[in-house]
Amino acid sequence: MHPAQGRMERTRPGQDSELRLILIGKSGGGKSATGNTLLGWPEFDSRLQARPTTQVCQGCRGQWNGKALVVIDTADICGPEASTDDLPYETRHCIDLARPGPHALVFVTQVGRFTAEDKAAANHILEAFGKEAARYLIVLFTRREDLGTFSVQDYVDRSGNEALWWLVEKCGNRVCAFNNRAVGAEREGQVNELMGMVEKMVQVNTRAKSKPFFESSAMEAAFGAYLDRGKAKGEDFFSRFCRWIQRPRVLLGCFLSGAFFLLLLYYSLPGHGKEPQAASRL
């Protein structure tokens, strides 16, 4: 543990001297490495492995520009490998770690790797936390070193990726990029760029009479409604299937299909449905 860091001890919740960030995105995008870049030391496990290294949401407290900085590294709560059983618990745990609410939801994805899975993950966040989530959303690209001489805005504009354009438009064109191997002044410059964007977003949201941060109570309410919608869809599908299967024509069709299958099975057995062979002469 870094000597300047503590595990989520709180000063007064919600005070202006604290900024809280939740790192989101599918597994393998570089969330943990980005959290380490923000903190300035390797707090989160970011080893390259076949399975996600972050199994549970975890938070760490550092400092930036005289302010407390709370960074939440998330498990896979929005990607294709997200566990249906663990999703409600881990999402609520993530919300709880960021109380009284995050100032920014930082969607982390790799340069050149924005796929249909990334769009599904982003869409999941917007559906799970409601349209208000877009007010607090920033897109952060890892592997900045792969951009070469291009700026991150040039990369987005030239990508030809409509799914990426959709997300960037949703978040109000708030984009930045990290080289998570950077050290010294380069690392500090990247962190300052992102945190400056966060502070500007806080000011904009405050002037727009929105909350400077995404309140935990609003996130919990939106996520609860999201789970209820999913449950209702499942129940509606099951009830419609039950009504469909009970129709007389459907029952008759199932009976005839089953009978036909048994008949085929019977005649496929050895010694059934074949012409008797003539006895061979001695």
- Summarised one tens digit per residue, pLDDT across range 108-127 is 999 998 999 899 999 999 99
Length of the chain: 282
CA dihedral 210, 215, 220, 222 (to 10 degrees): 10
CA geometry: angle 95, 98, 104, nearest 5 deg? 100
Reported as type and span, the H/E element at residue 61 is: strand 58-64
Pairwise pLDDT comparison (259 vs 236), residue with the higher score: 259
CA nearest 104: which of 9, 24, 8, 170? Answer: 24
Q: How many Cβ atoms are within 10 Å of 230's Cβ, its own excluded?
A: 14
Would you say residue 262 has pLDDT above 90?
no
Which pLDDT value is given to residue 161? 96
Q: How confident is the model at residue 265 (pLDDT cuts 50, 70, 90)?
A: low
What's the CA gap between 225 and 92, in Å, rounded? 13
Tell me, what's the pLDDT at 138?
A: 98
- Lookup: tokens for 266: 């019977």
Write out the H or E segment, with its range, that includes residue 21.
strand 18-24
pLDDT of residue 278 exceeding 80: no
pTM of the model: 0.76
- Give strand pairing partners of 70: 20, 61
Average pLDDT over residues 140-160: 96
Lowest model confidence (mean pLDDT) among 31-45, 49-63, 243-257: 243-257
Cα–Cα dist 62/65, whole Å: 10
Q: How far apart are CA 40 and CA 71, in angstroms?
A: 12
How confident is the model over 60-113, as pLDDT tens digits?
999 999 999 999 999 876 655 555 566 788 899 999 999 999 999 999 999 998
- The pLDDT of residue 90 is 87
pLDDT in tens, 225-252: 998 988 766 544 444 545 545 556 555 6
pLDDT at 82: 52
pLDDT score at 103: 97
For residue 250, give the DSSP letter: H
The pLDDT assigned to 12 comes to 43
How many C-beta neighbours within 10 Å does residue 128 have? 20
